[in-house]
Amino acid sequence: MTLEAEVVSARDARKGPRGQTAIPCVMMRGGTSRGPFFLRENLPADDEAMKRVLLRVMGSPHVRQIDGIGGSDPVTSKVAMVRRSVRPDADVDYLFAQVFVDRALVDTSPPCGNMVTAVGPFAIEQGLVEASDPETIVRIWDVNTQSLIEATVQTPGGEVTYDGDLRIAGVNDPAAPIVLNLARMAGAKTGKLFPTGQRAEDILGVTVSCVDMAMPCMFLPASAVGKSGYETKEELDGDKALIARLQDLRLIAGERMGLGDVRDKVIPKPVLVARPKDGGTVCGRYFMPYTLATAFAVTGGTNMAVTSCIAGTVVHEAASLGKGPVREVAVEHPQGKMLVRTEVVDQDGKVTVKQASQIRHARKLFEGNVFVPASVWAA
C-alpha cells in the first residue's frame, strides 16, 4: 500500500459511521474512579476543541449523561490523556480532565490520583513504556500539577497483569497492586505546602487548614459546620445549606491559596474532619467540591494523611497517630479506609515530605472507538 493510500485509509477509518468521528479509546478503572483513556495525539491539538470533544464523549451537560459514556457522577466523569514524554526524568505525560456532569465545563486544573493508577498499565500496553519482569516502574509527569509520580506496575513475563489479591475500599473485587509514590507532589499546584503561609487560619468564623499536598484542600472540623463527620453521602448531599456554606468558605480559601476565582474550578476540595471511630487514624468527608465522594481521591487522601502528621493543623488536632517518623496512616471514609505510608519531617518550622505512598489497583474494562458527531470534530 502506498503512503497516500495509508493516509486515506486512516482518514476513512476515523470518519466512522456517517456523520460521526471515531476516536480510539480505552475505558479503565483507576482506584475508585473510572473513565476513558486517550492517546493525546488522537484528540484535537487545540485545548478548547479538545474540551468540546470531551463534553460530547461524556454526554455533558446532562444529569444522566445519556448521550455519552459518562456515569452521571463526578467519579465516573473523568478523562485521562497520555503521551510519550520529552522530559528526561519522565516516561509519559498525563493530563487529567474533570468533566462536569450537569454543566458544559471541563476542568484541567486539578490532578486525579485514582485515574493516575491506571496510567502505568495503559502506557505499557500502548507501547509508550517497555515492560520489565516482574514489575515495571513508570515515571509519570503530571501535567496538571507539573510534578512527578512513580507507579510500580506488576508485569510478570513482561506483560501487564490485572489479576491479584489486593482489595481496596470502594471496589468490589481484588486486583494486582500498583504502588504510587506521591512524595514529590508537595506544593504541586501552588508551589507551597501551605500556600497561605499558615497551618491554620480563620475564614468566616471557621478554623481551616489550606494545604497543597498532591491536591489542594481546605480542611475544617465537621463540628464547625454542625456535623459529626460520620454522615452518609445522602445526608450531606441533601443539606443544601451546608453545601452553600462550604462553597462560600472554598471561594475565599481559593483566593488566599493563590488559585484565583475558583467558581469554575473543582479545587480546592472542602474536607470535613473528625476523630476516627473505626480504628483508623483520622476520619474525613471529601467533597468534589459540590457533592460528597463516597471514597477519598488518592490525592485528597494523601493530603489528609500527610497533614495529619503536621502539628498545628486542623487534621493533626483530630488525628490519633502512632509513634515514629514513618507512619501507616488510615484515613476513614464512607466506604472504609485509605492507607497511606507517610514520612514527614517537621523541624524549625519547615516541613519536608519524604514519603507519601499508596497501594491501589486498576483494571482495563474495554477498548475500541468512541464516537462524536462530525459537526463537533471532523478529525
Please give, one letter per residue, the 3-state secondary structure of 224-273. HHCCCCCCCHHHHHCCHHHHHHHHHHHHHHHHHCCCCCCCCCCCCEEEEE
With cut-offs at 50, 70 and 90, classify the pLDDT of residue 1: low
User: Mean pLDDT throughout 337-361?
Assistant: 95
pLDDT score of 2: 54
Full-model pTM: 0.80
pLDDT (tens digit per residue) in 269-307: 999 999 999 999 999 999 999 999 999 999 999 999 999
Cell of 258: 493563590
Distance CA 41, CA 373 (A): 19
pLDDT score of 3: 43
For the chain, domains (ranges, CATH) are 3-177+362-373 (3.10.310.10), 201-360 (3.10.310.10)
pLDDT score of 15: 61
